[in-house]
Amino acid sequence: MSSSQDKAKSNSKRSKLELDIFYKISQAMAHQHEIPTLLNEVLDIMETELGLSRGTLALRQPDSDIFEIKASRGLTSAERKRGQYNLGEGVTGIVAKTGKPATIADISKDPNFLDRTKSRKDARVAFLCVPITHLRQVIGTISIDRPITSDDELKRDIKFLKLVADLLAESVSSIREQMEEKESLTAENRLLRQQLGDRYHPSNIIGNCGSMRQVYEHIAQVADSAATVLIRGESGTGKELVARAIQAISPRKNNAFICVNCAALPENLIESELFGHEKGAFTGAMNQRKGRFEMANGGTLFLDEIGDISPSVQVRLLRVLQEQTFERVGSDKTTTVNVRVITATSSNLEEAIRDGKFREDLYYRLNVFPIHIPSLRERRADIMMLADYFIQKYNELYNKNIKRISTAAINMMMAYHWPGNVRELENCIERAVLTCTDNVIHGYALPPSLQTSDETNTEVMSAEGASLKALLESYEREIIIDALKKHRGNATAVAKELHATQRVINYSIKLLAITPHNYK
């Protein structure tokens, strides 16, 4: 057989092999959606099928001129980390800058070859590098080592690598764009979470004002410790929610959380409730009973309204906090527990200490880590966020479809002083959701206590609530405002819709101090 025939046969075999490799790479592209996995599979195919060694795939870093090795064969992780090239630096950097392939017949004789990975010690090999180009921009490079060979073989290899690069370009670009978009969204989400205080934001507490973010930070700071926490705030501010949030992110989160409302228990029963009792310890003690401390062993005990406990119970509570031991009522057997105690109060403990109603030593034991919860009037920025949350809650509970709160109702809610805090707001929204006949909460659906003179421009409320005149004018004002919004401030259209004369509508608008121009 002649040499030309041998060469033709060899070329035919090589062409068939290359087609097989392209098919396998296409299959990999169809099934792999992560760049490192895809690139490593491509290198595996080339190494297995062609025997090409030390292959590397470098990609341009987003928004930079740095190319970094993302997949390789024959390199250690340390060597791969060193494979980073600036645009125009070394052979890889020059290929990235010019967009043209490069062939180094012998790397030991070329000064441009940097061996940045330090993986070739005095090696005599050829080096081939081609750009991966998408939309006329070089987004990466493919490079391989191969034994020193003839120029014809090197040209054939570089041509093959170019075809592989062209095949990969669209797929790599698409995957990279998806990754960049995902990274961008993740970064944006992280930034927003930090801005909104979500780092310290327990899922069961609604609010984002500055004072509430401080509460979230305090929760995060104290949760991992066993320190006693004293939560202070007015009634209805959500002290139990804060206690539960501390428990939820603490090492005790999978253990018991026991609540005791000290104000709701009779003085003669509170000792038995907290510490338990033996059978026959007192009249009515028919059986032995565990107390709340035993029930909370290994977990958290939340004592609400701690300022209402009697002096005798205060003494026993102080001992438990100091020694984690106690005796059941009617027993001399000491019980040891491991309980994290969180307390709360809406009363002035400092004043109670001055009056001799609360032990000073107990106060200092409880007040290791105080958390103050602001009243709702101190966090007005959170009112509408809370209102929306409660609307959604009671929409689901009562199968309603309330979509919004009217402007007049919002004004009333923002002007009100909320003495009952978040609890009062929740009750107010629940009532409004129940009584609404359409999908909007109107001012007249709110309790009379919210019908203030500031919002209705009428006479001041009596001690019992709003006057009939105030309520009627509030209702009329809201109806007219809603109609003006609908008709973009056109009073004539409003009169027609409400089956009233233009004169009557204009008179009401003037009387109720409504400005139609605001609704255009």
pLDDT in tens, 280-309: 666 666 677 888 998 999 999 999 999 999
Is residue 298 domain-shared with residue 430, that is, in the same domain? no
pLDDT at 217 over 60: yes
CATH number for the domain spanning 335: value is: 3.40.50.300
Mode of pairing for the β-strands spanning 229-232 and 340-345? parallel
- Residue 198 lies inside a defined structural domain of this protein: no
Return the H-helix or E-strand segment holding 194. helix 151-195
Is residue 426 domain-shared with residue 309, that is, in the same domain? no
Q: Look at residue 450 in the predicted model and tell me its pLDDT.
A: 81
Is residue 363 domain-shared with residue 385, that is, in the same domain? no
Of residues 354 and 470, which shows the higher confidence score?
354
- Residue 2 lies inside a defined structural domain of this protein: no
pLDDT at 43 over 50: yes
Spatial distance between the Cα atoms of 425 and 416, rounded to a whole number of angstroms: 10
Task: Give me the half-sphere count of Cα atoms (radius 13 Å) on the Cβ side of residue 336.
Answer: 1
> What mean pLDDT comes out for the span 232-250?
91
pLDDT at 500 over 50: yes
pLDDT confidence band for 461 (50 / 70 / 90): very low
Residues 435, 436, 441: CA angle, nearest 5 degrees: 120
Q: Look at residue 164 in the predicted model and tell me its pLDDT.
A: 83
Spatial distance between the Cα atoms of 359 and 350, rounded to a whole number of angstroms: 10
pLDDT confidence band for 26 (50 / 70 / 90): confident
- Residue 204 lies inside a defined structural domain of this protein: no
Q: Look at residue 4 in the predicted model and tell me its pLDDT.
A: 67
- Residue 205 lies inside a defined structural domain of this protein: no
- Residue 302 lies inside a defined structural domain of this protein: yes
pLDDT at 497 over 60: yes
Q: Look at residue 271 in the predicted model and tell me its pLDDT.
A: 84
Highest mean pLDDT among 63-67, 420-424, 465-469: 420-424
> What mean pLDDT comes out for the span 458-467?
40
- Residue 443 lies inside a defined structural domain of this protein: yes
Q: What distance lies between CA 27 and its chain's CA centroid? A: 38
Which among 186, 201, 224 is the end of a domain?
Answer: 186
Of residues 192 and 295, which shows the higher confidence score?
295
Is residue 163 domain-shared with residue 246, that is, in the same domain? no
- What are the start-end ranges of the H helices in 254-406? 267-275, 292-295, 311-323, 349-354, 360-366, 383-398
Residue 481: what residue type?
A: I
Instruction: For residue 178, give its domain range.
Output: 11-186
Q: Look at residue 199 in the predicted model and tell me its pLDDT.
A: 44
Q: Look at residue 374 in the predicted model and tell me its pLDDT.
A: 93
Is residue 85 domain-shared with residue 99, that is, in the same domain? yes
Is residue 49 domain-shared with residue 109, that is, in the same domain? yes
Is residue 511 domain-shared with residue 362, that is, in the same domain? no
pLDDT in tens, 120-151: 666 778 888 999 998 888 888 888 888 888 88
CATH number for the domain spanning 397: value is: 1.10.8.60
Q: Look at residue 197 in the predicted model and tell me its pLDDT.
A: 43
> What mean pLDDT comes out for the span 34-41?
72
CATH number for the domain spanning 159: value is: 3.30.450.40
And the tokens for 459?
Answer: 């006479």
DSSP string, 438-464: SSEE-GGGS-GGG--HHHH-SPPPBTT
Residue 487: what residue type?
A: H
Q: What percent of the chain has pLDDT over 70?
A: 82
- Residue 195 lies inside a defined structural domain of this protein: no
Residue 456: what residue type?
A: T
> What mean pLDDT comes out for the span 369-383?
91
| Total domains present in the chain | 3
pLDDT confidence band for 339 (50 / 70 / 90): very high
pLDDT at 454 over 70: no
Of residues 343 and 472, which shows the higher confidence score?
343
Is residue 19 domain-shared with residue 168, that is, in the same domain? yes
Is residue 34 domain-shared with residue 161, that is, in the same domain? yes
pLDDT at 455 over 70: no
Distances in whole angstroms, Cα of residue 279 to Cα of each of 400, 414, 498:
51, 55, 74
- Residue 291 lies inside a defined structural domain of this protein: yes
Residue 497: what residue type?
A: E
pLDDT at 408 over 70: yes
Q: Look at residue 352 in the predicted model and tell me its pLDDT.
A: 93
Which among 359, 374, 389 is the end of a domain?
Answer: 374
Is residue 110 domain-shared with residue 219, that is, in the same domain? no
Is residue 243 domain-shared with residue 122, that is, in the same domain? no
Which among 374, 400, 425 is the end of a domain?
Answer: 374
Q: Look at residue 285 in the predicted model and tell me its pLDDT.
A: 66
pLDDT confidence band for 466 (50 / 70 / 90): very low
And the tokens for 384?
Answer: 């509408």
Residue 335: what residue type?
A: T
Is residue 87 domain-shared with residue 157, that is, in the same domain? yes
Which of 389-416 are b and which e, b meaning 16 or more Cβ less than 10 Å from the residue's Cβ?
A: bbbeebeeeeeeebeebbbbbbbbbeeb
The answer for residues whose C-beta is within 8 angstroms of residue 317's C-beta and 6 or more apart is 274, 309, 362
Spatial distance between the Cα atoms of 426 and 415, rounded to a whole number of angstroms: 16
